[in-house]
Amino acid sequence: MLIEVKATLSLGDTLVPLIFMSDRTHFSNFAGDKKEWPVYMTIGNLFSKMRQMPSTHTVIMVALLLVPIKNRNIPQMRRNEQWETN
C-alpha cells in the first residue's frame, strides 16, 4: 500500500506518517465511575527516543472520548434519556 501511495506523489511532495494512540484514563475519584479515552497524535518519522521524551512535546491530544456512567439501578425512563443524550 505504501508503494501505491508513493507512486501518486509528485516531485517535491512529502508524505508525513501520523500515529494515533489511546489509553484509558481514570477521570476522578470524586466524580464516581467516570473514565475517559484521550486520543493522541504524533508524527511517525521521529526517532522513538525523541518521541518518548515529555520535554519535546511531540505527542498532542486531539480528542477526548468520554465513557458514560454505567446504567446500574437506574429507572428505564432515565436510562432512555441518557441513551438519547449519548
Longest dimension (CA), the chain: 63
Q: What was the pLDDT predicted at 7?
A: 82
- Asked whether residue 29 is assigned to any structural domain, the reply reads yes
Q: CA 84, CA 60: separation in Å to the nearest integer?
A: 31
Domain boundaries, position 38: 17-85
Q: What was the pLDDT predicted at 29?
A: 59
- Asked whether residue 77 is assigned to any structural domain, the reply reads yes
- Asked whether residue 5 is assigned to any structural domain, the reply reads no
- For the whole model, what pTM was predicted? 0.58
How many structural domains is the chain composed of? 1
Among 17, 64, 63, CA closest to 42: 17
* Residues 27/36, Cβ–Cβ less than 8 Å: yes
Q: Tell me the average confidence (pLDDT) per consecutive run of 10 residues in the chain, 86 residues long.
A: 79 87 71 74 84 83 78 76 79
- Asked whether residue 12 is assigned to any structural domain, the reply reads no
